[in-house]
Chain A
């Protein structure tokens, strides 16, 4: 079986092709074609197939990571959306939680008011009302009003309709009936019912999620359709699958119905690529650290797998989002982040970025402000001729000039300033990692830092040092880790239902009944996708809290059945998460069921042993802080592909490969692992 992973980003389209029988992997990178993304995919696919000596017709399945829905939200370019909602609640999506995003600002905008997914003129109300606790119908749905609303929307060029009724998570019948009527009146429109995306309480967040889904729906649908068509034209028989924010993949047709689940498609694939690399070397507790040109994505992986973001804390482009997402933390620090002194003398790095154009000063594209990449160049930590495989020759003079200009303002020397830029950037990344681990009761010292992205391996050892992390793992293909991650994922579908049951009054029979209903829904979806019964795993969980609390913790139900043990487990989890447990009764808020269908996984890469002599490209000087002062140290430049296996190379050294550069500081050593990973280890504490 041959599987192809394609990660289409704004600048590059990354590809990985894996032959499960032969155990061979090929990777490739081509420039993206943002106006017609399928062109880059087709071109890249042709090239990678040629290298592998196979025809596109031999590809059994294509896995895709996409930014199409993300960009539609970030750039606010989506469909014209109409909303049909419960009478009396026309403006829930406009008022939101009535909180200003910023405490100290008069001139701020509120995203959902300044850039609504649905203009008020397209928000229609209809008579209906469902009430808790069990979704009783207080007022019947007025179908004539729904029809009237749909007709009036149809006349105004609306392409997509969100249907958002209060308490639909308890009883979705009104929403579903309204959706039917809208489809009758508006054939061809993209229709979303809020409970069908994710039936969870908190109306503003659920309605906004549904509106966002409608907003990105038609565009994502067309995009996936176009990709699939291009693949068919190239004779690729396999079905197109898309990576979701949850870290699972869905078929393109399932994904097209819930495009709002694709917003973190790329970063999720990156974390999975990091997990795959960790597994190659037998590491289970990982901090994934994906640093590119404008930002760094951080993920935490434990024996329990990749953490999922709490629904209360998930935001995209300033809008709340209630869908399962891997817990990816993004900070605005990348190779292009600009260092500057603000109006009052504060030394800052980012969040402003020079991006790819003009890019860092050393690119020579006209950028004049010093960036993190310029600082690395000044310190001799990247080789100007080998940056990104030599595709962009760097101009170290320009880097020095840009950093020197800043040094003059700060009143420090050139190297001090360059090293300061790196220190501030590394500290902010270390801080983000600390907050993600220590806050959750994890000790970062028990983790391995998996560094990828173009800039990750360059910064990882110093970030690890400040966290006390003893080991850094650089995956085999650090520049295309997301594309490899695409080939490690399972098909995955989630279902959720809000129940609100309190300890002492728990109806276990009802819980089990609802769990099995949810389970059969997700199982059916996998069976439809052609996954054989034996390859399907279903797991369940409860979202619980102490009665009165507002945030839930997730308690796993491995047997898909409710047991009293689950409640005991909750006390333990609360203790672990917050440092103490309470004696109060527990409230079950949501039931969750996830079904996964196994897919063939990417295998280990082929590794050849070299020798240090082969690997040595030359020697230079680079600058490090040693015992408080900056010192120039002789530094070995090595080529990764030719390193000997299992032979520690002491730092300082810089290790090059086509798509990334790894820095081995003085107190660290590097070792090529037979698994294909490069391991950096801290020698002295």
Chain B
């Protein structure tokens, strides 16, 4: 064995690794099947994780979105911090609800439910679920596109280590507060109940593991598995040359804001490799703002960085599977100066931090790219999140759609088209589901060709989606990448920024910026979203004529742009 010392034999470790995985899978399966809102059951914007008593992650459901499962250890640490402040502790039979972004939570709408696991009176671990809720009582309907909240209080309920079940007794009063302060609370509360049920199943199964194998074996195997994952990642870091590598990315921020402090904001990442250690320093990133694109350092920034490093260094398509546990965090140190976008001070608002975080991941990838060219993509097209809402039969309806982006070209492969990117990996809602349940009509959902970055390996192609309101309602959007196009890599051309257009092709046509606070619409109003098309990889001169012709045949590029971007094609055609 190349891992220095192990506590249990490798066979038992392998058996327990598998058992831990199935626990998280079962939790995810139950949560997806029981939940109500499409953001959880269709988009799968949820996470399920089991941690040890030290709040270290042991496993996660592969159905999870990385931005939901990754933060869970931080949720548990945040609850512990609050408990320490108020002299509280974990008891058997507790269920704790938590969403405070300055206590480890990812952002307010991602509410976590944590169930402690006791074996013979000893706290041995935690079973936890997180999920994105449709509404958390912010200033306007929905839990995305709350881009005008000026502080954490405007973002909705702040739930810090709340015991919704205390030693087996349900605290009905908490649920009453939730029901009175959240739109569509019946759906939100039912989703939360599903989260609790799934967390309890995980706790039961984890306990069974202790009963079956005994604490020494389970804990020994857990330590071994974390050592193992750490070791695997260190091996890959060691292959990188020592040194410091930097890159800078730009986010739109608030393009229509009068002050430059809110627009065109830099994200800077300096990656230092020293042996098998890797540090990411975000110094140089723009200062925090009093609008909610600040990113919680723990729960968003750290996850964006872990995600991208793992996807590059331990790409699951090209590497043996690695247990997803806290061992993967050990070789990595992250720093960001307090008061910057990536490490804001309370009560700076954070609810709309999603799309900015993807640029952190992306910038880290660009910093490393020259040293690991065969494992990276050119810049990705960023995402958009739309909340649509209205009042019907006296109650609210609220719906969330995440609009995909695209991946840049890669070594030997074109980029992925119209897909969720980096730390987001949700699913879209079927059109046939949306129109059957909501006063919305999808008029178009297709690729938006001819805008991807040219290169030896072309960037991925974005999408266009037209959504019409069939009744009066409202919407809000948080997006990025409307101004700054995805960059090409290794000589590939840049892609094309995305856009948001209200009522395209009509007299009422209006170009919108990437952050749109709640806005009312009439029946017949249509929102068009165009996803950015990603950057190309490698000199376009290296693209084979055959591939260029295939692209033209499929309408991915027009003859005109092929002639413009590919000189060798122009000369042969």
What does the 1/0 interface line of A224-250 toward B look like (CB < 8 Å)? Answer: 000000000000000000000000000
Within 8 Å CB of A435, what residues of B?
Answer: 22, 25-26
CB B434 to nearest CB in A, in angstroms, measures 10
Tell me which of B26, B41, B407, B447 contacts A439 (CB under 8 A): B26
Contact present for A94 and B447 (CB under 8 Å): yes
Assembled-state Cα–Cα distance A95/B310 (Å): 25
Selected interface stretch from B8-16, B165-173, B256-264:
B8-16
Stretch in contact with the other chain, from A426-434, A481-489, A533-541: A426-434
Residues of A555-596 at the interface with B, using a CB-CB cut-off of 8 Å, are 577-580, 582, 584
With A106-B410, A344-B228 as given contacts, are A88 and B553 in contact (CB-CB < 8 Å)? no
20 A-B residue contacts at CB 8 Å?
A91-B445, A94-B418, A104-B311, A104-B316, A106-B376, A106-B377, A106-B407, A108-B315, A108-B317, A119-B553, A203-B430, A343-B320, A344-B2, A344-B228, A345-B3, A424-B15, A435-B25, A550-B32, A580-B197, A584-B186
- A105-B315 contact given A132-B436, A411-B1, A548-B187, CB 8 Å threshold: yes
Known: A95-B404, A95-B418. A578 touches B555 (CB 8 A): no
Q: Does the CB pair A107–B314 fall under 8 Å?
A: no
A106-B375, A106-B376, A427-B18 are known contacts. Are A548 and B190 too (CB-CB below 8 A)?
yes
Structural contact, A166 and B431, CB atoms closer than 8 A: yes
Q: Contact residues of A with B, CB < 8 Å?
A: 88-92, 94-95, 97-100, 102-110, 113, 119-121, 131-133, 166-167, 169, 201-204, 341-348, 410-412, 420, 423-424, 427-428, 431, 434-435, 438-439, 500, 546, 548-551, 577-580, 582, 584
A328 to B314, CA, bound (A): 31
Most central of B307, B318, B445, B466 by chain A CB within 10 Å: B445
Name B409-444 residues within 8 Å CB distance of A: 410-411, 413, 416-420, 425-428, 430-433, 435-436, 441, 443-444
Task: Rank and list the top 5 A-B pairs by shortest CB-CB distance, nearest first.
Answer: A550-B41, A548-B36, A88-B444, A120-B554, A98-B404
Tell me how far the C-beta of A461 lies from the nearest C-beta in chain B, rounded to whole angstroms: 18
Q: Are A348 and B320 in contact (CB under 8 A)?
A: yes
Select which of A102, A577, A584 is within 8 A of B190 by beta carbon. Answer: A584
Contact B446 A90 (CB under 8 A): yes
Whether A121 pairs with B553 at a CB distance below 8 angstroms is yes
Interface string of B376-401 (1 = CB under 8 A from A): 11000000000000000000000000
- Contacts known (A548-B36, A550-B35); A95 close to B315, Cβ less than 8 A: no
Q: Across the interface, do A202 and B30 meet the contact criterion of CB distance under 8 Å?
A: no
B312 at the interface (CB under 8 A from A): yes
Of the candidates A108, A202, A578, A584, the one whose C-beta lies within 8 Å of that of B432 is A202
Contact of B311 among A95, A106, A345, A580 (CB under 8 A): A106
Other-chain residue from B26, B436, B444 in contact with A133 (beta carbon distance below 8 A): B436
Q: Is the CB of B11 within 8 A of A420?
A: yes
Chain B's closest residue to A500 (CB) is B436
Q: How far is the CA of A152 from the CA of B428 in the complex (A)?
A: 32
Chain A residue at minimum C-beta to C-beta distance from B416: A110
Decide if B432 touches A120 in the complex (CB within 8 Å): no
Best-buried of A92, A100, A203 by chain B (most CB within 10 Å): A100
| The one of A88, A107, A345 that contacts B2, using a Cβ cutoff of 8 Å | A345
Is the beta-carbon distance between B410 and A107 smaller than 8 angstroms?
Answer: yes
Contact B22 A431 (CB under 8 A): yes
Is A346 a contact partner of B320 (Cβ separation < 8 A)?
yes
Supply 4 further A-B pairs (C-beta < 8 A) apart from A94-B418, A103-B311, A550-B33: A90-B446, A105-B311, A108-B315, A434-B22
Query: With A99-B425, A427-B15 known to touch, is A202 a contact of B433 (CB < 8 Å)?
Result: yes
Known: A102-B316, A113-B416, A548-B36. Is A343-B232 also a contact (CB below 8 A)? Answer: yes
Give complex CA distance A345, B316 in Å: 17
Residues from chain A with Cβ under 8 Å of B463 in the complex: 91, 95, 98
B316 touching A103, Cβ below 8 Å: yes
- Would you list which residues of chain B between 165 and 192 have a CB under 8 Å from chain A? 186-187, 190
Minimum CB–CB distance for A664 against chain B, Å? 23
Pairwise interchain contact A347-B14, C-beta atoms closer than 8 A: yes
CB–CB B235/A100 < 8 A: no
> How many A-B residue contacts, CB cutoff 8 Å?
224
Interface centre among B34, B310, B311, B553 (most CB of A within 10 A): B34
Q: Does B501 contact A (CB under 8 A)?
A: no
Q: Is B231's beta carbon under 8 Å from chain A?
A: yes
CB distance from B125 to the nearest CB of A (A): 19
Please determine whether B441 and A424 come into contact, CB atoms closer than 8 angstroms: no
Contact partners of B83 in chain A: CB under 8 A: none
Complex-state Cα separation, A551 to B433, whole angstroms: 12
Closest to A349 in B: B14
A104, B307: Cβ atoms under 8 Å? yes
Q: Write out the residue numbers on chain B whose beta carbons fall within 8 Å of the beta carbon of A550.
A: 32-33, 35, 38, 41-42, 433
Q: How far is the CA of A420 from the CA of B19 in the complex (A)?
A: 16
CA A97 to CA B318, docked complex, whole Å: 23
A residues in contact with B407, CB < 8 Å = 106
- Majority SS of interface residues in chain A? loop
How distant is the Cα of A584 from the Cα of B411 in the complex, in angstroms?
A: 51
Nearest-neighbor residue (CB-CB) of B225 within chain A: A346
Contact A94 B417 (CB under 8 A): yes
Q: Does B66 contact A (CB under 8 A)?
A: yes
A70 vs B375: C-alpha distance when bound (angstroms): 32
Which chain A residue has the least Cβ–Cβ distance from B365? A106
Q: Please report the C-alpha to C-alpha distance between residue A351 and residue B312 in the assembled complex, in whole angstroms.
A: 23
B80 to chain A, nearest CB (A): 27
CA A268 to CA B374, docked complex, whole Å: 42
A113 to B419, CA, bound (A): 11
Given contacts A344-B235, A346-B14, A435-B26, contact A103 B425 (CB under 8 A): yes
Cα A341 to Cα B1 in complex, Å, equals 9
Q: Decide: A551 near B32, CB < 8 A? Known: A121-B553, A132-B432, A435-B25.
A: yes
Q: Is there an interface contact between B418 and A347, defined as CB atoms closer than 8 Å?
A: no
Partner of A95, one of B11, B425, B436, B447: B447
Contact A89 B445 (CB under 8 A): yes
B429 to chain A, nearest CB (A): 9
Contact call B445/A98, Cβ cutoff below 8 A = no
Residue of A nearest to B233 (CB): A344
Q: Which residues of A contact B413 (CB under 8 A)?
A: 107, 109
State whether the Cβ of B37 lies closer than 8 Å to any Cβ in chain A. Answer: yes
User: Smallest CB-CB separation from B423: which chain A residue?
Assistant: A103
Contacts of B312 in A (CB 8 A): 106
Residues of B contacting A120 with CB < 8 Å?
447, 554-556
Nearest Cβ in chain A — how far from B462, in angstroms?
Answer: 10
Chain B residue contacts of A104, Cβ below 8 A: 66, 307, 310-311, 314-316, 324
B446 touches A88 (CB 8 A): yes
Nearest CB to that of B232 among chain A residues?
A344
Question: From residue B563, how far is it (CB to closest CB) to chain A in Å?
Answer: 19
* B29 on the A face (CB < 8 A): yes
Residues of A within 8 A of B310 (CB): 104
The distance in angstroms between the C-alpha atoms of A119 and B551, with both chains bound, is 11
A-chain residues with CB within 8 Å of residue B1 when the two chains form the complex: 341, 345, 410-411
Decide: A99 and B197 in contact? CB cutoff 8 A: no
The CA-CA distance from A91 to B42 in the complex, in Å, is 20
Question: Is B432 in contact with A428, judged by CB distance below 8 angstroms?
Answer: no
A130: min CB distance to chain B, Å: 10
A119 CB contact (under 8 Å) in B42, B428, B554: B554
Nearest A residue to B463 via CB reads A95
Taken together as a complex, chains A and B put the C-alpha atoms of A100 and B314 apart, in Å, by 16
**CA separation between A424 and B187, bound complex, in Å?**
43
Interchain CA distance A420-B445 in the complex, whole Å: 52
A201, B432: Cβ atoms under 8 Å?
yes
A94 to B42 CA separation, bound complex (whole angstroms): 18
Chain B residues in 8 Å Cβ range of A166? 431-432
A-contact 0/1 string along B317-351, CB 8 Å cutoff: 11010001000000000000000000000000000
Are B235 and A98 interface neighbours, CB within 8 A?
A: no
Q: Distance (Å) between the CB of B520 and the closest chain A CB?
A: 24
- Give CA–CA (A406, B203) in the complex, Å: 36
B552 CB, nearest partner CB in chain A, Å = 9
Is B148 close to A, CB under 8 A? no
Taking CB atoms, residues of chain A closer than 8 Å to B418 are 91, 94-95, 98
